[in-house]
Structure 1
Amino acid sequence: MPRLTSTNHARLQMAAVLAMVLLAAGCSVDKEKMLPHGDQTMMDVWNAGSSQGRQLVDARAELRRPVDTTQARPLADNVGYSRTAQNEIYSQFKRLPNPDLVMYVFPHLAGSDPAPIPGYTTVFPLYQRVQYAMPGERVENY
Protein backbone atom coordinates (compact mmCIF):
# COMPACT_ATOMS: atom_id res chain seq x y z
CA MET A 1 0.00 0.00 0.00
CA PRO A 2 1.54 3.38 -1.00
CA ARG A 3 2.33 5.87 1.73
CA LEU A 4 0.37 9.09 1.93
CA THR A 5 2.86 11.87 1.37
CA SER A 6 2.20 15.56 1.84
CA THR A 7 1.84 16.14 -1.90
CA ASN A 8 -0.66 13.29 -2.21
CA HIS A 9 -2.49 14.65 0.82
CA ALA A 10 -2.65 18.10 -0.76
CA ARG A 11 -3.96 16.62 -4.01
CA LEU A 12 -6.70 14.76 -2.14
CA GLN A 13 -7.70 17.96 -0.36
CA MET A 14 -7.81 19.89 -3.64
CA ALA A 15 -9.95 17.13 -5.24
CA ALA A 16 -12.35 17.23 -2.29
CA VAL A 17 -12.61 21.03 -2.45
CA LEU A 18 -13.20 20.88 -6.22
CA ALA A 19 -15.96 18.29 -5.75
CA MET A 20 -17.64 20.47 -3.11
CA VAL A 21 -17.49 23.52 -5.39
CA LEU A 22 -19.02 21.57 -8.29
CA LEU A 23 -21.81 20.27 -6.06
CA ALA A 24 -22.55 23.75 -4.76
CA ALA A 25 -22.58 25.15 -8.31
CA GLY A 26 -25.10 22.52 -9.35
CA CYS A 27 -27.48 23.58 -6.59
CA SER A 28 -27.34 27.26 -7.51
CA VAL A 29 -29.52 27.02 -10.65
CA ASP A 30 -32.44 29.46 -10.75
CA LYS A 31 -35.84 27.72 -10.35
CA GLU A 32 -37.57 29.94 -12.96
CA LYS A 33 -34.83 29.18 -15.47
CA MET A 34 -35.03 25.44 -14.82
CA LEU A 35 -38.85 25.18 -14.61
CA PRO A 36 -40.47 28.07 -16.50
CA HIS A 37 -43.91 28.95 -15.12
CA GLY A 38 -45.76 30.30 -18.15
CA ASP A 39 -48.96 32.36 -18.26
CA GLN A 40 -51.51 29.57 -17.66
CA THR A 41 -52.96 28.76 -14.27
CA MET A 42 -53.87 25.24 -13.18
CA MET A 43 -57.54 26.06 -13.82
CA ASP A 44 -56.70 27.00 -17.43
CA VAL A 45 -54.80 23.72 -17.92
CA TRP A 46 -57.69 21.75 -16.37
CA ASN A 47 -60.35 23.40 -18.50
CA ALA A 48 -58.32 22.91 -21.69
CA GLY A 49 -57.84 19.22 -20.90
CA SER A 50 -61.47 18.63 -19.98
CA SER A 51 -62.76 20.28 -23.18
CA GLN A 52 -60.50 18.03 -25.27
CA GLY A 53 -61.70 15.04 -23.25
CA ARG A 54 -65.32 16.06 -23.84
CA GLN A 55 -64.68 16.23 -27.59
CA LEU A 56 -63.19 12.73 -27.49
CA VAL A 57 -66.20 11.34 -25.59
CA ASP A 58 -68.59 12.99 -28.06
CA ALA A 59 -66.67 11.54 -31.03
CA ARG A 60 -66.77 8.05 -29.51
CA ALA A 61 -70.51 8.36 -28.84
CA GLU A 62 -71.11 9.06 -32.54
CA LEU A 63 -69.24 5.89 -33.50
CA ARG A 64 -71.16 3.64 -31.11
CA ARG A 65 -74.04 1.74 -32.60
CA PRO A 66 -77.02 0.43 -30.64
CA VAL A 67 -77.15 -3.32 -30.09
CA ASP A 68 -79.63 -4.92 -32.43
CA THR A 69 -80.99 -8.16 -30.90
CA THR A 70 -81.92 -9.56 -34.31
CA GLN A 71 -78.28 -9.38 -35.36
CA ALA A 72 -77.02 -10.90 -32.12
CA ARG A 73 -79.13 -14.08 -32.46
CA PRO A 74 -77.13 -15.67 -35.33
CA LEU A 75 -74.00 -15.30 -33.21
CA ALA A 76 -75.62 -17.32 -30.41
CA ASP A 77 -76.47 -20.08 -32.92
CA ASN A 78 -72.79 -20.42 -33.84
CA VAL A 79 -71.49 -20.67 -30.28
CA GLY A 80 -70.86 -24.41 -30.68
CA TYR A 81 -68.56 -23.74 -33.61
CA SER A 82 -66.64 -20.91 -31.98
CA ARG A 83 -63.17 -21.47 -30.61
CA THR A 84 -62.66 -20.63 -26.96
CA ALA A 85 -59.78 -21.44 -24.64
CA GLN A 86 -61.83 -24.07 -22.84
CA ASN A 87 -63.18 -26.02 -25.80
CA GLU A 88 -59.82 -25.74 -27.56
CA ILE A 89 -58.00 -27.43 -24.69
CA TYR A 90 -60.64 -30.10 -24.17
CA SER A 91 -60.91 -30.93 -27.86
CA GLN A 92 -57.18 -31.11 -28.58
CA PHE A 93 -55.71 -32.43 -25.35
CA LYS A 94 -57.93 -35.11 -23.83
CA ARG A 95 -57.34 -36.07 -20.21
CA LEU A 96 -55.92 -39.54 -19.78
CA PRO A 97 -57.72 -41.81 -17.33
CA ASN A 98 -56.49 -41.51 -13.76
CA PRO A 99 -58.32 -44.17 -11.77
CA ASP A 100 -59.11 -43.62 -8.12
CA LEU A 101 -57.62 -46.06 -5.65
CA VAL A 102 -59.54 -46.87 -2.49
CA MET A 103 -57.48 -47.73 0.55
CA TYR A 104 -58.59 -48.91 3.95
CA VAL A 105 -56.43 -47.77 6.88
CA PHE A 106 -56.68 -50.17 9.81
CA PRO A 107 -57.15 -48.86 13.36
CA HIS A 108 -53.80 -47.82 14.81
CA LEU A 109 -52.00 -45.73 17.42
CA ALA A 110 -50.37 -42.43 16.32
CA GLY A 111 -48.38 -39.56 17.79
CA SER A 112 -45.74 -39.24 20.53
CA ASP A 113 -48.41 -40.05 23.13
CA PRO A 114 -50.01 -42.94 21.26
CA ALA A 115 -53.59 -41.97 20.57
CA PRO A 116 -55.96 -44.51 19.05
CA ILE A 117 -57.08 -43.73 15.50
CA PRO A 118 -60.14 -45.64 14.27
CA GLY A 119 -60.06 -47.39 10.92
CA TYR A 120 -61.15 -45.38 7.88
CA THR A 121 -61.32 -45.47 4.09
CA THR A 122 -59.57 -42.93 1.85
CA VAL A 123 -59.52 -42.32 -1.91
CA PHE A 124 -56.56 -41.03 -3.93
CA PRO A 125 -55.65 -40.93 -7.63
CA LEU A 126 -53.31 -43.52 -9.11
CA TYR A 127 -51.08 -40.91 -10.76
CA GLN A 128 -49.80 -37.87 -8.89
CA ARG A 129 -50.52 -35.41 -11.74
CA VAL A 130 -53.20 -35.11 -14.37
CA GLN A 131 -51.84 -36.46 -17.66
CA TYR A 132 -53.00 -35.29 -21.10
CA ALA A 133 -52.96 -37.12 -24.43
CA MET A 134 -51.24 -35.59 -27.42
CA PRO A 135 -53.54 -34.33 -30.21
CA GLY A 136 -54.80 -37.34 -32.16
CA GLU A 137 -53.62 -39.88 -29.58
CA ARG A 138 -56.15 -42.61 -28.85
CA VAL A 139 -57.75 -42.27 -25.41
CA GLU A 140 -60.70 -44.68 -25.71
CA ASN A 141 -60.69 -48.02 -23.88
CA TYR A 142 -58.74 -50.64 -25.83
Structure 2
Amino acid sequence: MYLHTSTERRFLAGAWLTLALLGIGGCSTNKDKLLPHGATDMLDVWQQGTTGSAGSASGRMLLDARQALRRPLEPRQAAARNDNAAFTRTAENEIHSQFKRLPNPDLVMYVFPHLAGSDPVPVPGYTTVFPLYQRVQYAMPGERTEDY
Protein backbone atom coordinates (compact mmCIF):
# COMPACT_ATOMS: atom_id res chain seq x y z
CA MET A 1 0.00 0.00 0.00
CA TYR A 2 1.45 3.33 -0.97
CA LEU A 3 0.81 6.25 1.43
CA HIS A 4 0.17 9.57 -0.26
CA THR A 5 -0.13 12.00 2.61
CA SER A 6 2.11 12.79 5.53
CA THR A 7 -0.91 12.56 7.88
CA GLU A 8 -1.36 8.90 7.04
CA ARG A 9 2.33 8.30 7.59
CA ARG A 10 2.26 10.04 10.98
CA PHE A 11 -0.83 8.08 12.03
CA LEU A 12 0.78 4.78 11.06
CA ALA A 13 4.05 5.66 12.84
CA GLY A 14 2.10 6.65 15.97
CA ALA A 15 0.16 3.38 15.91
CA TRP A 16 3.38 1.35 15.62
CA LEU A 17 4.98 3.34 18.46
CA THR A 18 1.94 2.79 20.69
CA LEU A 19 1.96 -0.95 20.02
CA ALA A 20 5.69 -1.16 20.72
CA LEU A 21 5.38 0.71 24.02
CA LEU A 22 2.46 -1.48 25.11
CA GLY A 23 4.45 -4.60 24.22
CA ILE A 24 7.51 -3.47 26.15
CA GLY A 25 5.42 -2.36 29.11
CA GLY A 26 3.62 -5.70 29.22
CA CYS A 27 6.91 -7.58 29.46
CA SER A 28 8.24 -5.60 32.39
CA THR A 29 7.22 -7.08 35.69
CA ASN A 30 8.75 -7.84 39.06
CA LYS A 31 9.45 -11.54 39.67
CA ASP A 32 8.88 -11.16 43.41
CA LYS A 33 5.38 -9.80 42.74
CA LEU A 34 4.65 -12.56 40.26
CA LEU A 35 6.14 -15.41 42.34
CA PRO A 36 6.21 -14.36 46.00
CA HIS A 37 8.61 -16.19 48.29
CA GLY A 38 7.34 -17.84 51.42
CA ALA A 39 8.86 -19.71 54.33
CA THR A 40 8.23 -23.12 52.73
CA ASP A 41 10.59 -24.82 50.33
CA MET A 42 9.90 -27.61 47.81
CA LEU A 43 10.48 -30.39 50.37
CA ASP A 44 7.82 -28.92 52.65
CA VAL A 45 5.37 -28.59 49.76
CA TRP A 46 6.02 -32.21 48.71
CA GLN A 47 5.57 -33.60 52.21
CA GLN A 48 2.42 -31.58 52.74
CA GLY A 49 0.97 -32.80 49.45
CA THR A 50 1.81 -36.47 49.97
CA THR A 51 1.20 -37.03 53.66
CA GLY A 52 -1.03 -34.13 54.61
CA SER A 53 -1.09 -32.96 58.18
CA ALA A 54 -1.04 -35.69 60.79
CA GLY A 55 -4.61 -35.10 61.90
CA SER A 56 -6.20 -34.55 58.50
CA ALA A 57 -8.62 -37.06 57.01
CA SER A 58 -6.78 -37.23 53.69
CA GLY A 59 -3.48 -37.92 55.43
CA ARG A 60 -5.08 -40.72 57.46
CA MET A 61 -6.63 -42.28 54.34
CA LEU A 62 -3.28 -42.21 52.56
CA LEU A 63 -1.53 -43.91 55.50
CA ASP A 64 -4.28 -46.58 55.63
CA ALA A 65 -3.88 -47.26 51.90
CA ARG A 66 -0.12 -47.61 52.31
CA GLN A 67 -0.56 -50.05 55.20
CA ALA A 68 -2.96 -52.13 53.09
CA LEU A 69 -0.31 -52.43 50.41
CA ARG A 70 2.30 -53.56 52.95
CA ARG A 71 0.26 -56.50 54.25
CA PRO A 72 2.03 -59.90 54.42
CA LEU A 73 1.40 -62.53 51.75
CA GLU A 74 -1.11 -65.25 52.47
CA PRO A 75 0.25 -68.84 52.22
CA ARG A 76 -1.70 -69.48 49.01
CA GLN A 77 -0.26 -66.33 47.41
CA ALA A 78 3.25 -67.28 48.50
CA ALA A 79 2.90 -70.74 46.90
CA ALA A 80 1.70 -69.20 43.62
CA ARG A 81 4.62 -66.82 43.74
CA ASN A 82 7.07 -69.71 44.14
CA ASP A 83 5.41 -71.61 41.26
CA ASN A 84 5.89 -68.62 38.94
CA ALA A 85 9.48 -68.01 40.05
CA ALA A 86 10.85 -70.12 37.19
CA PHE A 87 9.15 -67.87 34.63
CA THR A 88 10.24 -64.53 36.09
CA ARG A 89 13.43 -62.68 35.29
CA THR A 90 16.10 -62.65 37.97
CA ALA A 91 19.80 -61.94 37.98
CA GLU A 92 20.45 -65.69 37.96
CA ASN A 93 18.28 -66.71 35.02
CA GLU A 94 18.87 -63.46 33.13
CA ILE A 95 22.27 -64.80 32.06
CA HIS A 96 20.88 -68.16 30.95
CA SER A 97 18.17 -67.67 28.38
CA GLN A 98 14.70 -69.03 29.16
CA PHE A 99 13.93 -69.66 25.52
CA LYS A 100 16.48 -72.20 24.33
CA ARG A 101 17.40 -72.32 20.66
CA LEU A 102 16.32 -75.49 18.98
CA PRO A 103 18.98 -77.29 16.97
CA ASN A 104 19.37 -76.10 13.41
CA PRO A 105 22.00 -78.37 11.86
CA ASP A 106 24.50 -76.95 9.41
CA LEU A 107 24.62 -78.49 5.99
CA VAL A 108 27.93 -78.59 4.17
CA MET A 109 27.79 -78.42 0.42
CA TYR A 110 30.60 -78.70 -2.08
CA VAL A 111 30.25 -76.65 -5.26
CA PHE A 112 32.18 -78.20 -8.14
CA PRO A 113 34.35 -76.03 -10.40
CA HIS A 114 32.20 -74.38 -13.05
CA LEU A 115 31.89 -71.52 -15.53
CA ALA A 116 29.71 -68.55 -14.52
CA GLY A 117 28.38 -65.37 -16.12
CA SER A 118 27.58 -64.32 -19.68
CA ASP A 119 31.29 -64.43 -20.45
CA PRO A 120 32.17 -67.86 -19.09
CA VAL A 121 34.50 -67.18 -16.20
CA PRO A 122 35.98 -70.19 -14.43
CA VAL A 123 35.05 -70.48 -10.74
CA PRO A 124 37.13 -72.91 -8.68
CA GLY A 125 35.43 -75.51 -6.50
CA TYR A 126 34.59 -74.44 -2.96
CA THR A 127 32.74 -75.59 0.15
CA THR A 128 29.91 -73.61 1.75
CA VAL A 129 27.90 -74.05 4.95
CA PHE A 130 24.23 -73.09 5.42
CA PRO A 131 21.58 -73.91 8.03
CA LEU A 132 18.96 -76.58 7.39
CA TYR A 133 16.05 -74.32 8.42
CA GLN A 134 15.64 -70.79 7.17
CA ARG A 135 14.67 -69.34 10.58
CA VAL A 136 16.00 -69.96 14.07
CA GLN A 137 13.36 -71.71 16.20
CA TYR A 138 13.03 -71.32 19.99
CA ALA A 139 11.54 -73.65 22.59
CA MET A 140 9.02 -72.49 25.19
CA PRO A 141 10.25 -72.38 28.81
CA GLY A 142 10.45 -75.94 30.14
CA GLU A 143 9.87 -77.48 26.73
CA ARG A 144 13.50 -78.47 26.20
CA THR A 145 15.68 -79.21 29.23
CA GLU A 146 18.66 -81.13 27.85
CA ASP A 147 21.67 -79.27 26.54
CA TYR A 148 22.88 -79.97 23.04
- Structure ranking higher on relative contact order (CA contacts 8 Å, 6+ apart): 1
Structure 2 length-normalised TM: 0.39
